[in-house]
Amino acid sequence: MFSVLHRVLAWSVVSGLLLPVVIVIVLGLAGLLAGMRDEAGSLLCLRIAMGLGVGWASAVAVTAVTVGVRMLEQSENARANSSETSSEKNG
């Protein structure tokens, strides 16, 4: 379970950091195409940027949920280890 959480967290953090850069580049391309009077290309780039924005928001949400699950898992492991240690001291 740790390996899957670790991978999901790594990919969501990378996506959360890189997608805004890609969005800005695609929006710049949309502006360039609009300036060249290519309305269809500009509209396509705007829609792609909108989809990337949804992906970015999803990456942020997945990061938050993954960190929460990982923290809960760590606290359960710490609680289990502390109860094992206290039972060894008593026994």
pLDDT of residue 33: 97
Structure tokens at 38: 């290519």
Comparing CA positions, the residue from 22, 23, 10, 5 lying closest to residue 59 is 10
Q: What's the pLDDT band for 91 if we cut at 50, 70, 90? A: low
Is 24 part of a structural domain of the chain?
no
Is 26 part of a structural domain of the chain?
no
Is 38 part of a structural domain of the chain?
yes
Q: What's the pLDDT band for 82 if we cut at 50, 70, 90? A: confident
Task: Please name the residues in contact with 26: beta carbons below 8 A apart, sequence gap of 6 or more.
Answer: 45, 48, 49, 52
Mean pLDDT confidence for 66-90: 79
Domains in the chain, number:
1
Is 23 part of a structural domain of the chain?
no
Q: What's the pLDDT band for 79 if we cut at 50, 70, 90? A: confident
Q: Print the domain residue range for 48.
A: 31-58
pTM, rounded to two decimals: 0.78
Is 13 part of a structural domain of the chain?
no
Is 50 part of a structural domain of the chain?
yes
Is 40 part of a structural domain of the chain?
yes
Is 44 part of a structural domain of the chain?
yes
pLDDT tens across 5-50, in order?
Answer: 899 999 999 999 999 999 999 999 999 999 999 999 999 999 999 9
Distance CA 88, CA 69 (A): 29
Query: Counting Cβ atoms within 10 Å, is residue 66 exposed (0-12), middle (13-18) or buried (19+)?
Result: buried
Quick count: other Cβ atoms within 10 Å of Cβ 41? Answer: 15
